[in-house]
């Protein structure tokens, strides 16, 4: 670690320090309490201190559910470590609760013996009733299993702001910075980053800026001066992280960056047609700010117009994207078929959430895999790839664009709510190492060498048709959703031609196996059990399998980026293991594909709770299936 | 659009090599020929023009044009055309659609494209029937219409397309009858020259499923008495003998006979196509035979900022002051170095 100072600017602490390898901390409060902000700022400080980090924001669908209710509780979990970590942690070592509802809703995530910091001021009769408590748990032995720290956050915040002339409401809104100051003290975090953040965030509101500075410092001082806290904790900088430049990135940010990178590397203007939907909207937000890269974002009137505008832009030779979540994919289905039929490059990003219907908008799930692969009318094959983590979402988005352009095809990129909103350190790629993407446009009649223009002529290795740049004389052509004659692209109702074209469109997707590298196996190349994951369970599965290997178990792990087509060597890999275990946050979808394709029985681990699958769950599932 | 150099062109330069397959006698033939003539007249070559259609009889249009073309999916042509126009503002984009395609399944895209004022020419072939699915009532079919799906008469109240368009903030509204080559040519030329969404309702005859739907207006012997050709800045006078006028009594249009009751040509409503207030255009959208002569020509031509232009300008403006540095973007605001 080079630029990770360990001192802070509020003076040195005199209290003793205990060193820990990893800590999982969870903040919980009303959705108006600034919990997500508090969590992400603590994350930024931890990352800057050289820790590996992984986060899990857990927030309600309502923007501001009634204050003090269980429905309105927003949570943010951060795992920070001196080791390389892959998950936000199964359960928390430290839980900070802003009110009784937060305690009631999130106590289950705190490890027995864990540190519980409660805003005691908020444990009023009214709030206790709303949270379902008959009596105040802070005053009984109900929390005897935990190290309880009662802090009068509201009162102390008010004291710190005395004389500033702020309203009670404004004072109340500052209390998250008191909590943040306190945990900064508790975990020796450098405070510079927060000072900067407050200056930026409240640049236009100097009073609130000064207030939050004061409150943050008061929180830190409280930690140092109170007799409540006897020791501080130190999580040293991680040593096993590959050298390089890092930043914190969420999955949605990483997707947006990957798309821009693909635009630059392909020389195609980026067009996004999108309709706001949780949890995908942040991709639209990010891309809307990247105008210096020529990015054009179109907030369409609905999901259908989102994808249709993108198809129009693709016809006009842009790198065209539409971003959405499951319900939006359902609406875009017919248009996806049009993109399959017209063989235009298009990337559809599905940030999966709990379904069916409106389902669980803010919770994570992996239940759109079969929709992605099969969910269109007719034989409508489409490549599908999935990101396994926030940082992997950059590479996955770039790959989706590369495939879309190279094969002239719509590509579905799957992420999920957990990847989208969770943040982790990302080793920033050097731009000069990024591959270029050859758009290989047909731009003039001379390129035809005297031959007639055939809009559906095939490249022999990719089976891709030409991407014809509009606006050139002699290249005028017509495409559409009706079945095409091979090569000419004219309307065709011929039976044999339809049969051939159905097979051809499938062969084109099948040909993409040439893009898939050899399957990377964590652990032995053969053995008793192989855990196969796709998407976000990667982190938990990797962690679980690593631990089990350390315990001498015969377990390996494979994570799939490519889901359609599947990797060409996957069948051989599966056959080398006695048992195949497939953990998914759905009712068993990849498992169907594997059984269908390889005629191998697989075991599922399916927990569909709107939450990431934990390390402990996967370990237990592996142990349940290992021969005793 | 400096790129669109005018050249000498003939209507046949806009004909594709595909056999036209509408029913014999279909009104679409006349519309196709009219559009090809209008395009030749404006002098923009076929390779700078794109024709986009949804689904329905009208939507076969792109196959018969020598321009770039896209036959898309039902109702979505305005959305696809919007994306194309944003990506490629250098091309002129025409949309062919029908009453079912644009006002029923595509109603949402229709109103939003008009609201945004994307630079598209939208030709809506209104035959008041679903033709390609063989004869069901459409959103413009008259109340009580007996069709295969409404054997006892439709209980659906119809749209007035011009009113809908004006209500959706349409900047340009034109209207003509498929067989009226003269007015059609003028309206198409005005639409071609207009910057922004130009919506044209074309009263089109479906010979198979709704034959004669517009006969009351289209027949030569009635046309002058039952339609009124609107010309900007001119009083609304019509009739074979040019003896009838429309005047406004408050906000109510009223027919009068010139020379009777002391009313003269000077009392007639003077058509102002550029009126920024949409109220009078809205009134025109409600004037239909037999209560009134049906208005034809350019009903509204009120230029206002164009969506695709605004969107592209925003990008260009930011590019002037901000350098596109991918490494800087990827690095973000808060990065740190591990190792050395």
The answer to whether A485 contacts chain B (CB < 8 Å) is no
- B225-235 tens-digit pLDDT: 999 999 999 99
pLDDT band at B340 (very low <50, low <70, confident <90, very high): low
Interface test with B, best of A286, A292, A466 (most B CBs within 10 A): A292
Report the CATH superfamily, name and number, of domain A17-234. Answer: Pyruvate-ferredoxin oxidoreductase, PFOR, domain III (3.40.920.10)
Three-class DSSP category at A174 = coil
CA of B161 vs chain A CAs: smallest distance (Å): 20
The answer to whether A413 contacts chain B (CB < 8 Å) is no
pLDDT band at B5 (very low <50, low <70, confident <90, very high): low
How many other CB atoms are found less than 10 A from the CB of residue A357? Answer: 8
* Contact criterion met (CB < 8 Å) for B337 and A245: yes
Three-class DSSP category at A385 = strand
Residue A168 token pair:
């009670």
* Contact criterion met (CB < 8 Å) for B84 and A313: yes
| pLDDT value, residue A8 | 45
Judged against a pLDDT cut of 50, whether residue B1 lies above it is answered with no
Chain B residues touching residue A295 (CB < 8 angstroms): 315
Interface test with B, best of A40, A272, A301, A492 (most B CBs within 10 A): A301
A527-625 in CATH: which number? 3.40.50.920
- H or E stretch at B252: strand B252-257
Return the number of CB contacts < 8 Å for A and B: 211
- A569-585 tens-digit pLDDT: 999 999 999 999 999 99
Judged against a pLDDT cut of 90, whether residue B20 lies above it is answered with yes
Same topology between domain A247-433 and domain A527-625: yes
Q: Which residue has the tokens 């330069």?
A: B13
Q: What is the DSSP letter of B274?
A: T
User: Taking CA A417 as the corner, what is the angle to CA A412 and CA A415, rounded to the nearest 5 degrees?
Assistant: 25
| pLDDT value, residue A14 | 74
Q: What is the DSSP letter of A99?
A: S
CA dist., res. A428 & res. A243, Å (int): 11
For A:159-218, CB contacts with B below 8 A are 193
- The structural domains of chain A, with segments of one domain joined by +, span 17-234, 247-433, 441-514, 527-625
- B247-281 tens-digit pLDDT: 999 999 999 999 999 999 999 999 999 999 999 99
**Average pLDDT of the segment spanning B36-65:** 96
Task: For chain B, list the domains and their CATH numbers.
Answer: 11-231+272-314 (3.40.50.970), 235-270 (no CATH)
CA dist., res. A491 & res. A360, Å (int): 43
Would you list the DSSP string of A191-203? SHHHHHHHHHHTT
* Contact criterion met (CB < 8 Å) for B311 and A296: yes
The answer to whether B327 contacts chain A (CB < 8 Å) is yes
The answer to whether A248 contacts chain B (CB < 8 Å) is yes
For A:303-362, CB contacts with B below 8 A are 304-305, 308-318, 320, 334-335, 337-338, 342
Looking at 3.40.50.300, 2.40.128.20, 1.10.287.110, 3.40.50.970, the CATH number of the domain A247-433 comes to 3.40.50.970
Measuring CA to CA, how many Å separate A8 from each of A3, A45, A188, B135? 13, 12, 8, 78
The answer to whether B118 contacts chain A (CB < 8 Å) is no
**What mean pLDDT value characterizes chain B?**
95
| pLDDT value, residue A10 | 58
- H or E stretch at B109: helix B107-116
Low-confidence ranges of chain A (pLDDT < 70): 1-13
CA dist., res. A538 & res. A54, Å (int): 13
| pLDDT value, residue A358 | 96
Chain B residues touching residue A242 (CB < 8 angstroms): 338-339
Task: Answer for the pair B6, B192: CB distance below 8 angstroms, yes or no.
Answer: no
């Amino acid at each position: 670690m080079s630029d990770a100072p360990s001192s802070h600017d509020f003076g040195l602490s005199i209290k003793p320090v205990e060193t820990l390898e990893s800590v999982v901390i969870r903040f919980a409060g009303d959705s108006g309490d600034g919990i997500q902000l508090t969590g992400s700022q603590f994350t930024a400080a931890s990352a800057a201190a050289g820790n590996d980090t992984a986060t899990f924001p857990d927030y309600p669908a309502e923007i501001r559910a009634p204050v003090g209710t269980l429905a309105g509780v927003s949570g943010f979990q951060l795992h920070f470590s001196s080791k390389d970590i892959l998950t936000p942690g199964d359960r928390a070592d430290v839980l900070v609760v802003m009110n009784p509802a937060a305690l009631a809703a999130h106590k289950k995530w705190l490890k027995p013996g864990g540190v519980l910091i409660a805003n005691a001021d908020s444990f009023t009769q009214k709030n206790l009733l709303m949270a379902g408590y008959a009596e105040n748990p802070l005053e009984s032995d109900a929390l005897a299993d935990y190290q309880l720290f009662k802090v009068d956050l509201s009162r102390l915040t008010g004291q710190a702001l005395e004389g500033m002339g702020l309203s009670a409401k404004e004072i109340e809104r500052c209390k998250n910075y008191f909590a943040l100051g306190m945990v900064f003290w508790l975990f020796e975090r450098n405070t510079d980053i927060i000072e900067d953040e407050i200056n930026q965030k409240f640049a236009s509101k100097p009073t609130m800026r000064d207030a939050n500075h004061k409150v943050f410092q008061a929180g830190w001082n409280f930690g140092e001066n109170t007799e409540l806290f006897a020791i501080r904790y130190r999580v040293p900088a991680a040593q096993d992280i590959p050298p390089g430049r890092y930043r914190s990135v969420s999955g949605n940010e990483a997707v947006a960056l990957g798309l821009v990178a693909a635009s630059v590397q392909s020389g195609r203007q980026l067009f996004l047609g999108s309709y706001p939907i949780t949890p995908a909207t942040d991709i639209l937000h990010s891309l809307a700010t990247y105008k210096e890269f020529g990015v054009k974002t179109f907030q369409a009137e609905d999901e259908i117009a989102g994808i249709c505008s993108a198809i129009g832009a693709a016809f006009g030779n842009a790198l065209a994207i539409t971003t959405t979540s499951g319900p939006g994919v359902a609406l875009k289905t017919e248009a996806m078929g049009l993109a399959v039929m017209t063989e235009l490059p298009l990337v559809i990003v599905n940030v999966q959430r709990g379904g069916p219907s409106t389902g669980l908008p803010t919770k994570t799930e992996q239940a759109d895999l079969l929709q992605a692969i099969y969910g269109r009318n007719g034989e409508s094959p489409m490549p599908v790839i999935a990101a396994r983590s926030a940082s992997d979402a950059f590479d996955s988005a770039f790959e989706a664009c590369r495939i879309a352009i190279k094969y002239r095809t719509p590509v579905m990129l799957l992420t999920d709510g957990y990847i989208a909103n969770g943040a982790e350190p990302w080793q920033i790629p050097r731009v000069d190492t990024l591959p270029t993407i050859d758009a290989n446009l047909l731009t003039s009649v001379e390129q035809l060498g005297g031959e007639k223009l055939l809009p559906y002529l095939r490249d022999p290795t990719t089976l891709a048709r030409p991407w014809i740049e509009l606006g050139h004389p002699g290249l005028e052509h017509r495409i559409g959703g009706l079945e095409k004659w091979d090569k000419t692209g004219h309307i065709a109702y011929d039976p044999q031609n339809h049969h051939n074209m159905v097979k051809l469109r499938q062969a084109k997707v099948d040909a993409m196996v040439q893009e898939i590298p050899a399957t990377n196996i964590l652990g032995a190349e053969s053995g008793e059990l192989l855990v196969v994951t796709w998407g976000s369970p990667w982190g938990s599965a990797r962690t679980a399998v690593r631990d089990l290997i350390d315990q001498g178990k015969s377990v390996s792990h494979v994570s799939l980026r490519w889901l359609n087509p599947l990797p060409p060597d996957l069948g051989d890999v599966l056959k080398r293991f006695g048992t195949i275990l497939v953990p998914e946050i759905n009712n068993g979808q990849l498992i169907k594909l594997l059984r269908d394709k390889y005629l191998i029985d697989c075991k599922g681990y399916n927990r569909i709770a709107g939450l990431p699958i934990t390390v402990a769950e996967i370990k237990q599932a592996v142990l349940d299936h290992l021969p005793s | 659009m400096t790129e669109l150099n005018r050249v000498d062109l003939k209507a046949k330069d806009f004909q594709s090599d595909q056999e036209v397959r509408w029913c014999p006698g279909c009104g679409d033939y006349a519309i196709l020929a009219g559009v090809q003539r209008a395009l030749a007249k404006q002098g923009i070559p076929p390779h700078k023009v794109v024709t986009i259609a949804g689904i329905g009889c009208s939507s076969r249009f792109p196959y018969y044009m020598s321009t770039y073309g896209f036959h898309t999916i039902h109702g979505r042509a305005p959305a696809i055309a919007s994306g194309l126009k944003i990506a490629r503002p250098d091309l002129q984009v025409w949309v062919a659609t029908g009453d079912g395609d644009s006002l029923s399944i595509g109603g949402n895209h229709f109103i939003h494209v008009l609201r945004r004022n994307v630079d598209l020419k939208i030709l809506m072939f209104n035959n008041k029937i679903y033709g390609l699915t063989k004869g069901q009532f459409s959103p413009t079919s008259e109340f009580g219409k007996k069709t295969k799906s409404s054997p006892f008469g439709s209980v659906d109240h119809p749209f007035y397309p011009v009113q809908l368009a004006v209500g959706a903030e349409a900047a340009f509204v034109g209207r003509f009858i498929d067989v009226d080559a003269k007015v059609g040519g003028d309206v198409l030329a005005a639409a071609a020259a207009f910057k922004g969404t130009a919506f044209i309702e074309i009263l089109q005859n479906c010979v198979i499923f709704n034959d004669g739907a517009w006969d009351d207006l289209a027949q030569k012997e009635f046309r002058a008495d039952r339609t009124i050709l609107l010309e900007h800045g001119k009083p609304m006078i019509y009739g074979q003998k040019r003896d009838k006028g429309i005047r406004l009594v408050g906000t109510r249009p009223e027919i009068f006979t010139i020379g009777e009751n002391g009313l003269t040509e000077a009392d007639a409503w003077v058509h102002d196509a550029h009126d920024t207030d949409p109220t009078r255009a809205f009134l025109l959208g409600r004037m239909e035979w037999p209560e009134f002569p049906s208005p034809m020509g350019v009903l509204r031509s009120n230029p206002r900022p164009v969506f695709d232009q605004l969107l592209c300008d925003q990008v260009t403006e930011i590019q002037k002051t901000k350098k596109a540095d991918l490494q800087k973007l990827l690095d973000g605001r808060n990065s740190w170095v591990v190792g050395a």
